[in-house]
Structure 1
Protein backbone atom coordinates (compact mmCIF):
# COMPACT_ATOMS: atom_id res chain seq x y z
CA UNK A 1 0.00 0.00 0.00
CA UNK A 2 1.35 3.43 -0.96
CA UNK A 3 1.89 5.72 1.98
CA UNK A 4 0.02 9.08 1.66
CA UNK A 5 2.22 12.02 0.80
CA UNK A 6 2.95 14.37 3.69
CA UNK A 7 2.49 18.11 3.21
CA UNK A 8 4.17 20.77 5.28
CA UNK A 9 1.81 23.42 6.62
CA UNK A 10 3.58 26.08 4.58
CA UNK A 11 2.73 24.21 1.37
CA UNK A 12 -0.88 23.88 2.50
CA UNK A 13 -1.10 27.59 3.36
CA UNK A 14 0.33 28.50 -0.03
CA UNK A 15 -2.48 26.41 -1.53
CA UNK A 16 -5.01 28.37 0.57
CA UNK A 17 -3.46 31.63 -0.65
CA UNK A 18 -3.61 30.61 -4.33
CA UNK A 19 -7.20 29.35 -3.97
CA UNK A 20 -8.29 32.57 -2.24
CA UNK A 21 -6.70 34.63 -5.00
CA UNK A 22 -8.66 32.69 -7.61
CA UNK A 23 -12.00 32.20 -5.85
CA UNK A 24 -12.35 34.72 -3.02
CA UNK A 25 -13.58 33.90 0.47
CA UNK A 26 -17.28 33.51 -0.38
CA UNK A 27 -16.72 30.95 -3.14
CA UNK A 28 -13.81 29.08 -1.53
CA UNK A 29 -14.29 25.32 -1.18
CA UNK A 30 -11.90 22.73 0.24
CA UNK A 31 -11.61 21.22 -3.23
CA UNK A 32 -10.28 24.56 -4.53
CA UNK A 33 -7.48 24.39 -1.96
CA UNK A 34 -6.71 20.71 -2.56
CA UNK A 35 -6.64 21.31 -6.32
CA UNK A 36 -3.80 23.81 -5.80
CA UNK A 37 -1.58 21.20 -4.15
CA UNK A 38 -2.82 17.82 -5.35
CA UNK A 39 -3.99 16.54 -1.97
CA UNK A 40 -7.31 14.91 -1.12
CA UNK A 41 -9.96 16.83 0.84
CA UNK A 42 -10.00 13.90 3.31
CA UNK A 43 -6.27 14.36 4.03
CA UNK A 44 -6.81 18.07 4.59
CA UNK A 45 -9.75 17.39 6.91
CA UNK A 46 -7.68 14.84 8.82
CA UNK A 47 -4.99 17.46 9.37
CA UNK A 48 -7.23 20.44 10.32
CA UNK A 49 -10.64 18.99 11.18
CA UNK A 50 -12.67 21.60 9.29
CA UNK A 51 -12.45 24.32 6.69
CA UNK A 52 -12.81 26.92 9.44
CA UNK A 53 -9.89 25.45 11.41
CA UNK A 54 -7.80 25.51 8.25
CA UNK A 55 -8.63 29.19 7.68
CA UNK A 56 -7.86 30.03 11.31
CA UNK A 57 -4.49 28.29 10.96
CA UNK A 58 -3.92 30.19 7.70
CA UNK A 59 -4.68 33.43 9.57
CA UNK A 60 -2.08 32.56 12.19
CA UNK A 61 0.41 31.85 9.40
CA UNK A 62 -0.27 35.24 7.78
CA UNK A 63 0.12 36.95 11.17
CA UNK A 64 3.56 35.37 11.56
CA UNK A 65 4.51 36.33 8.00
CA UNK A 66 3.48 39.90 8.82
CA UNK A 67 5.56 39.94 12.00
CA UNK A 68 8.55 38.46 10.13
CA UNK A 69 8.24 40.97 7.28
CA UNK A 70 8.46 43.92 9.66
CA UNK A 71 11.33 42.29 11.56
CA UNK A 72 13.29 41.65 8.35
CA UNK A 73 12.61 45.18 7.12
CA UNK A 74 13.92 46.66 10.37
CA UNK A 75 17.21 44.76 9.86
CA UNK A 76 17.47 45.45 6.12
CA UNK A 77 19.76 48.48 6.36
CA UNK A 78 17.20 50.62 4.54
CA UNK A 79 15.96 53.85 6.03
CA UNK A 80 12.83 53.25 8.14
CA UNK A 81 10.55 54.89 5.55
CA UNK A 82 12.00 52.86 2.68
CA UNK A 83 11.82 49.70 4.81
CA UNK A 84 8.17 50.45 5.57
CA UNK A 85 7.44 50.88 1.87
CA UNK A 86 9.15 47.55 1.20
CA UNK A 87 6.89 45.78 3.72
CA UNK A 88 3.71 47.11 2.11
CA UNK A 89 5.02 46.43 -1.39
CA UNK A 90 6.17 42.88 -0.65
CA UNK A 91 2.85 42.00 1.01
CA UNK A 92 1.08 42.20 -2.35
CA UNK A 93 3.98 41.45 -4.70
CA UNK A 94 2.55 38.06 -5.74
CA UNK A 95 -0.78 39.51 -6.88
CA UNK A 96 -1.01 39.29 -10.66
CA UNK A 97 -3.90 41.68 -11.10
CA UNK A 98 -6.64 43.60 -9.25
CA UNK A 99 -9.00 40.62 -9.37
CA UNK A 100 -6.58 38.42 -7.44
CA UNK A 101 -6.03 41.21 -4.93
CA UNK A 102 -9.78 41.73 -4.47
CA UNK A 103 -10.37 38.00 -4.09
CA UNK A 104 -7.70 37.64 -1.43
CA UNK A 105 -8.81 40.79 0.38
CA UNK A 106 -12.33 39.33 0.59
CA UNK A 107 -10.94 36.89 3.15
CA UNK A 108 -10.46 39.78 5.58
CA UNK A 109 -13.66 41.63 4.66
CA UNK A 110 -16.19 38.82 4.35
CA UNK A 111 -14.47 36.86 7.11
CA UNK A 112 -15.63 39.51 9.59
CA UNK A 113 -18.93 37.59 9.80
CA UNK A 114 -17.06 34.92 11.76
CA UNK A 115 -16.06 36.16 15.24
CA UNK A 116 -12.93 33.98 15.36
CA UNK A 117 -11.67 35.11 11.95
CA UNK A 118 -12.55 38.70 12.83
CA UNK A 119 -10.42 38.46 15.97
CA UNK A 120 -7.45 37.22 13.92
CA UNK A 121 -7.90 40.01 11.37
CA UNK A 122 -8.11 42.66 14.09
CA UNK A 123 -4.96 41.31 15.71
CA UNK A 124 -3.07 41.40 12.39
CA UNK A 125 -4.21 44.98 11.71
CA UNK A 126 -3.12 46.00 15.21
CA UNK A 127 0.28 44.45 14.55
CA UNK A 128 0.62 46.37 11.28
CA UNK A 129 -0.26 49.60 13.05
CA UNK A 130 2.12 48.89 15.93
CA UNK A 131 5.05 48.11 13.64
CA UNK A 132 4.26 51.05 11.37
CA UNK A 133 4.31 53.41 14.35
CA UNK A 134 7.57 51.87 15.53
CA UNK A 135 9.21 52.48 12.15
CA UNK A 136 7.84 56.03 11.99
CA UNK A 137 9.30 56.73 15.43
CA UNK A 138 12.63 55.34 14.23
CA UNK A 139 12.43 57.65 11.20
CA UNK A 140 11.95 60.59 13.58
CA UNK A 141 14.90 59.45 15.73
CA UNK A 142 17.04 59.19 12.58
CA UNK A 143 15.94 62.68 11.49
CA UNK A 144 14.47 61.18 8.31
CA UNK A 145 11.17 62.90 9.08
CA UNK A 146 10.26 65.69 11.47
CA UNK A 147 8.42 64.97 14.74
CA UNK A 148 4.74 64.40 14.03
CA UNK A 149 1.59 62.74 15.31
CA UNK A 150 2.81 59.20 14.66
CA UNK A 151 -0.56 57.54 15.34
CA UNK A 152 -2.26 59.85 12.85
CA UNK A 153 0.39 59.42 10.15
CA UNK A 154 0.23 55.64 10.61
CA UNK A 155 -3.56 55.62 10.16
CA UNK A 156 -3.41 57.88 7.10
CA UNK A 157 -0.62 55.84 5.53
CA UNK A 158 -2.49 52.56 6.02
CA UNK A 159 -5.67 54.14 4.65
CA UNK A 160 -3.77 55.44 1.62
CA UNK A 161 -2.19 52.06 0.92
CA UNK A 162 -5.59 50.34 1.22
CA UNK A 163 -7.10 52.97 -1.06
CA UNK A 164 -4.30 52.51 -3.60
CA UNK A 165 -5.22 48.84 -3.84
CA UNK A 166 -8.81 49.82 -4.69
CA UNK A 167 -7.64 52.42 -7.19
CA UNK A 168 -5.64 49.66 -8.91
CA UNK A 169 -8.99 48.22 -10.03
CA UNK A 170 -9.69 51.46 -11.89
CA UNK A 171 -6.11 52.13 -12.99
CA UNK A 172 -4.87 48.62 -13.72
CA UNK A 173 -2.47 50.00 -16.36
CA UNK A 174 -0.37 51.29 -13.44
CA UNK A 175 1.54 49.05 -11.05
CA UNK A 176 0.90 48.81 -7.34
CA UNK A 177 4.50 49.92 -6.85
CA UNK A 178 3.70 53.19 -8.62
CA UNK A 179 0.55 53.70 -6.59
CA UNK A 180 2.34 52.95 -3.31
CA UNK A 181 5.20 55.30 -4.24
CA UNK A 182 2.64 58.03 -4.83
CA UNK A 183 1.12 57.45 -1.38
CA UNK A 184 4.50 57.71 0.30
CA UNK A 185 5.52 60.78 -1.70
CA UNK A 186 2.38 62.71 -0.82
CA UNK A 187 2.20 61.68 2.84
CA UNK A 188 5.87 62.21 3.63
CA UNK A 189 6.65 65.22 1.43
CA UNK A 190 5.86 67.79 4.12
CA UNK A 191 7.35 65.67 6.89
CA UNK A 192 10.66 65.23 5.10
CA UNK A 193 10.76 68.91 4.15
CA UNK A 194 9.80 70.04 7.62
CA UNK A 195 6.49 71.56 6.56
CA UNK A 196 3.13 71.30 8.28
CA UNK A 197 1.52 67.87 8.75
Structure 2
Protein backbone atom coordinates (compact mmCIF):
# COMPACT_ATOMS: atom_id res chain seq x y z
CA UNK A 1 0.00 0.00 0.00
CA UNK A 2 1.35 3.43 -0.98
CA UNK A 3 1.80 5.80 1.93
CA UNK A 4 -0.10 9.06 1.27
CA UNK A 5 1.93 12.26 1.00
CA UNK A 6 1.63 14.63 3.92
CA UNK A 7 1.27 17.62 1.60
CA UNK A 8 -0.45 17.84 -1.75
CA UNK A 9 1.84 19.04 -4.52
CA UNK A 10 -0.70 21.66 -5.58
CA UNK A 11 -0.55 23.22 -2.10
CA UNK A 12 3.26 23.19 -2.21
CA UNK A 13 3.34 24.86 -5.62
CA UNK A 14 0.85 27.46 -4.44
CA UNK A 15 3.30 28.23 -1.63
CA UNK A 16 6.15 28.47 -4.16
CA UNK A 17 4.05 30.85 -6.26
CA UNK A 18 3.20 33.11 -3.31
CA UNK A 19 6.80 33.16 -2.09
CA UNK A 20 8.09 34.02 -5.56
CA UNK A 21 5.57 36.87 -5.86
CA UNK A 22 6.76 38.30 -2.55
CA UNK A 23 10.52 37.83 -2.86
CA UNK A 24 11.53 37.04 -6.43
CA UNK A 25 13.64 34.08 -7.55
CA UNK A 26 16.98 35.50 -6.47
CA UNK A 27 15.86 36.21 -2.92
CA UNK A 28 13.41 33.42 -2.15
CA UNK A 29 14.57 30.86 0.40
CA UNK A 30 13.09 27.52 1.38
CA UNK A 31 11.93 29.07 4.63
CA UNK A 32 9.93 31.67 2.65
CA UNK A 33 8.12 28.84 0.88
CA UNK A 34 7.56 26.76 3.99
CA UNK A 35 6.32 29.88 5.82
CA UNK A 36 3.60 30.22 3.17
CA UNK A 37 2.50 26.64 3.87
CA UNK A 38 3.28 26.35 7.60
CA UNK A 39 5.48 23.29 7.15
CA UNK A 40 9.14 22.63 7.90
CA UNK A 41 11.97 22.92 5.34
CA UNK A 42 12.83 19.30 6.19
CA UNK A 43 9.38 18.18 5.03
CA UNK A 44 9.85 20.03 1.76
CA UNK A 45 13.28 18.48 1.24
CA UNK A 46 11.88 15.05 2.02
CA UNK A 47 9.41 15.53 -0.81
CA UNK A 48 11.77 16.97 -3.46
CA UNK A 49 15.33 16.27 -2.32
CA UNK A 50 16.66 19.71 -3.29
CA UNK A 51 15.57 23.28 -3.94
CA UNK A 52 16.39 22.84 -7.63
CA UNK A 53 14.22 19.71 -7.88
CA UNK A 54 11.38 21.64 -6.28
CA UNK A 55 11.68 24.42 -8.87
CA UNK A 56 11.86 21.87 -11.69
CA UNK A 57 8.66 20.28 -10.38
CA UNK A 58 7.10 23.75 -10.07
CA UNK A 59 8.03 24.42 -13.70
CA UNK A 60 6.31 21.18 -14.75
CA UNK A 61 3.25 22.24 -12.76
CA UNK A 62 3.13 25.65 -14.50
CA UNK A 63 3.56 23.95 -17.88
CA UNK A 64 0.58 21.71 -17.10
CA UNK A 65 -1.49 24.73 -16.00
CA UNK A 66 -0.59 26.43 -19.29
CA UNK A 67 -1.62 23.36 -21.28
CA UNK A 68 -4.89 23.14 -19.30
CA UNK A 69 -5.72 26.82 -19.81
CA UNK A 70 -5.35 26.54 -23.59
CA UNK A 71 -7.29 23.26 -23.65
CA UNK A 72 -10.19 24.87 -21.78
CA UNK A 73 -10.04 27.84 -24.15
CA UNK A 74 -10.23 25.46 -27.12
CA UNK A 75 -13.51 24.08 -25.72
CA UNK A 76 -14.96 27.52 -25.03
CA UNK A 77 -17.94 28.83 -26.99
CA UNK A 78 -16.30 32.27 -27.15
CA UNK A 79 -14.88 33.61 -30.40
CA UNK A 80 -11.28 32.38 -30.70
CA UNK A 81 -9.74 35.85 -30.18
CA UNK A 82 -11.79 36.40 -27.01
CA UNK A 83 -10.89 32.93 -25.74
CA UNK A 84 -7.20 33.62 -26.41
CA UNK A 85 -7.40 36.93 -24.57
CA UNK A 86 -9.04 35.14 -21.64
CA UNK A 87 -6.06 32.75 -21.42
CA UNK A 88 -3.59 35.62 -21.14
CA UNK A 89 -5.77 37.41 -18.59
CA UNK A 90 -6.18 34.27 -16.51
CA UNK A 91 -2.41 33.73 -16.38
CA UNK A 92 -1.97 36.93 -14.37
CA UNK A 93 -5.33 37.04 -12.59
CA UNK A 94 -3.82 36.47 -9.15
CA UNK A 95 -1.38 39.37 -9.49
CA UNK A 96 -2.58 42.35 -7.49
CA UNK A 97 0.45 44.62 -7.93
CA UNK A 98 3.21 45.13 -10.55
CA UNK A 99 5.88 44.19 -7.99
CA UNK A 100 4.32 40.74 -7.58
CA UNK A 101 4.36 40.27 -11.34
CA UNK A 102 7.99 41.42 -11.59
CA UNK A 103 9.02 39.14 -8.72
CA UNK A 104 7.33 36.10 -10.22
CA UNK A 105 8.64 36.83 -13.71
CA UNK A 106 12.16 36.89 -12.24
CA UNK A 107 11.85 33.11 -11.91
CA UNK A 108 11.85 32.76 -15.70
CA UNK A 109 14.56 35.38 -16.25
CA UNK A 110 17.04 34.63 -13.46
CA UNK A 111 16.78 30.84 -13.66
CA UNK A 112 18.15 30.87 -17.22
CA UNK A 113 21.65 30.31 -15.79
CA UNK A 114 20.54 26.75 -14.98
CA UNK A 115 20.28 24.66 -18.19
CA UNK A 116 17.56 22.39 -16.77
CA UNK A 117 15.32 25.27 -15.66
CA UNK A 118 16.02 27.13 -18.90
CA UNK A 119 14.88 24.08 -20.88
CA UNK A 120 11.58 24.05 -18.95
CA UNK A 121 11.04 27.77 -19.58
CA UNK A 122 11.82 27.42 -23.29
CA UNK A 123 9.43 24.49 -23.57
CA UNK A 124 6.63 26.47 -21.90
CA UNK A 125 7.22 29.45 -24.21
CA UNK A 126 7.12 27.16 -27.25
CA UNK A 127 3.83 25.72 -25.99
CA UNK A 128 2.34 29.20 -25.59
CA UNK A 129 3.39 30.09 -29.13
CA UNK A 130 2.09 26.81 -30.54
CA UNK A 131 -1.30 27.12 -28.83
CA UNK A 132 -1.57 30.81 -29.72
CA UNK A 133 -0.95 30.01 -33.40
CA UNK A 134 -3.55 27.24 -33.26
CA UNK A 135 -6.18 29.62 -31.92
CA UNK A 136 -5.28 32.30 -34.45
CA UNK A 137 -5.61 29.76 -37.26
CA UNK A 138 -9.01 28.76 -35.86
CA UNK A 139 -10.00 32.45 -35.83
CA UNK A 140 -9.13 32.63 -39.54
CA UNK A 141 -11.05 29.40 -40.26
CA UNK A 142 -14.04 30.80 -38.32
CA UNK A 143 -13.87 34.00 -40.40
CA UNK A 144 -13.21 36.12 -37.27
CA UNK A 145 -10.03 37.61 -38.70
CA UNK A 146 -8.67 37.85 -42.22
CA UNK A 147 -5.91 35.49 -43.41
CA UNK A 148 -2.49 36.69 -42.28
CA UNK A 149 1.01 35.58 -41.28
CA UNK A 150 0.01 33.67 -38.15
CA UNK A 151 3.57 33.03 -36.93
CA UNK A 152 4.40 36.75 -37.01
CA UNK A 153 1.06 37.70 -35.49
CA UNK A 154 1.62 35.26 -32.63
CA UNK A 155 5.08 36.71 -31.91
CA UNK A 156 3.82 40.31 -32.03
CA UNK A 157 0.87 39.49 -29.78
CA UNK A 158 3.08 37.76 -27.21
CA UNK A 159 5.55 40.66 -27.35
CA UNK A 160 2.73 43.13 -26.78
CA UNK A 161 1.39 41.17 -23.81
CA UNK A 162 4.88 40.96 -22.30
CA UNK A 163 5.35 44.69 -22.88
CA UNK A 164 2.00 45.43 -21.25
CA UNK A 165 3.27 43.70 -18.12
CA UNK A 166 6.25 46.09 -18.03
CA UNK A 167 4.05 49.10 -18.73
CA UNK A 168 1.96 48.09 -15.71
CA UNK A 169 4.94 49.05 -13.52
CA UNK A 170 4.72 52.60 -14.93
CA UNK A 171 0.93 52.74 -15.14
CA UNK A 172 -0.10 50.85 -12.01
CA UNK A 173 -3.31 52.92 -11.84
CA UNK A 174 -4.56 50.79 -14.73
CA UNK A 175 -5.36 47.09 -14.53
CA UNK A 176 -3.53 44.42 -16.49
CA UNK A 177 -6.87 43.46 -18.01
CA UNK A 178 -7.18 46.99 -19.41
CA UNK A 179 -3.67 46.85 -20.82
CA UNK A 180 -4.29 43.43 -22.38
CA UNK A 181 -7.56 44.68 -23.90
CA UNK A 182 -5.63 47.56 -25.44
CA UNK A 183 -3.06 45.17 -26.95
CA UNK A 184 -5.77 43.03 -28.53
CA UNK A 185 -7.78 46.04 -29.74
CA UNK A 186 -4.82 47.63 -31.51
CA UNK A 187 -3.35 44.44 -32.95
CA UNK A 188 -6.63 43.05 -34.28
CA UNK A 189 -8.19 46.34 -35.38
CA UNK A 190 -7.02 45.89 -38.97
CA UNK A 191 -7.48 42.12 -38.99
CA UNK A 192 -11.08 41.83 -37.89
CA UNK A 193 -13.21 40.47 -40.69
CA UNK A 194 -15.98 42.98 -41.34
CA UNK A 195 -17.81 40.37 -43.43
CA UNK A 196 -18.18 37.91 -40.57
CA UNK A 197 -21.77 36.94 -39.78
TM-score when normalising by structure 2: 0.95
**How far off is 1:193 after superposition?**
4.7
Residue 149 of structure 2 is matched in structure 1 by 149
Cα distance in 1 between the residues matched to 2:193 and 2:73: 24
Q: Spell out the pairing of 1:12-51 with structure 2 (5 A cutoff).
A: 12-51=12-51
Contact 2:136–2:150 under 8 Å retained in 1: yes
Cα distance in 2 between the residues matched to 1:145 and 1:130: 18
Runs (4 or more) in structure 1 with deviation over 2 Å come to none
Give CA deviations for 1:15-46 in whole Å, capped at 9, x if unaligned.
Answer: 00000000000001000000000010000000
Cα distance in 1 between the residues matched to 2:120 and 2:128: 12
1:65 is the counterpart of 2:65: yes
Cα distance in 1 between the residues matched to 2:178 and 2:130: 25
Contact 2:144–2:193 under 8 Å retained in 1: no
Cα distance in 2 between the residues matched to 1:47 and 1:193: 52
Unaligned runs of 5+ in 1: none
CA RMSD of aligned residues (A): 1.2
Cα distance in 2 between the residues matched to 1:80 and 1:164: 21
Residue 96 of structure 2 is matched in structure 1 by 96
